[in-house]
Amino acid sequence: GYIDGWRTSTPYTFARFFWNTFLIIAPKTLFTVISCAAVAYGFARFEFPGKKILFASLIATLLLPNVVTRIPQYLLFRDMGWLDTFLPLWVPSAFAGDAFFVFMLVQFLRSIPRDMEEAARVDGAT
């Protein structure tokens, strides 16, 4: 039962499973928030050559099923020597690897008037 999962003679208990989950999720969440917010801010506030093409290609990745990219990802991670490590779980999120979050943040940031940003700068925000 549930209690036996916490008290076992093997090294694999629920506590170890929770710790492994924390080791994977904490850095991934931190990297995702920072990188997606930075990329979304760039798309929402700046004009640069190729912006529309880059944003369209980012959105196009949402239409690609994850299962299509599994084997190429595996081969890439194998060639980089990242198999049996946490790096394949952390590194893609450090480079705004989740297009959905970027898209949602871009839409949110576009809804904030630029006047609010300018007023914040006048009031001393950096």
pLDDT tens digits along 53-94: 999 999 999 999 989 999 999 999 999 999 999 999 999 888
**Where does the pLDDT of residue 2 fall: very low under 50, low under 70, confident under 90, or very high at 90 and above?**
confident
Q: Please check whether residue 68 is in contact with residue 125, taking contact to mean a CB–CB distance below 8 angstroms.
A: no
Q: Which residue has the tokens 């300018």?
A: 118
In order of their start, the domains of the chain are 2-122 (1.10.3720.10)
What pTM, to 2 d.p., does this model score? Answer: 0.81
- Residue at token pair 């450090």: 94
pLDDT at 41: 96
> Is the confidence at residue 36, as pLDDT, over 70?
yes
Rounded CA-CA distance 68/38 in Å is: 27
Amino acid at 66: N
Looking at the chain, the whole-number percentage of residues with pLDDT higher than 70 is: 98
Higher pLDDT, residue 126 or 117: 117
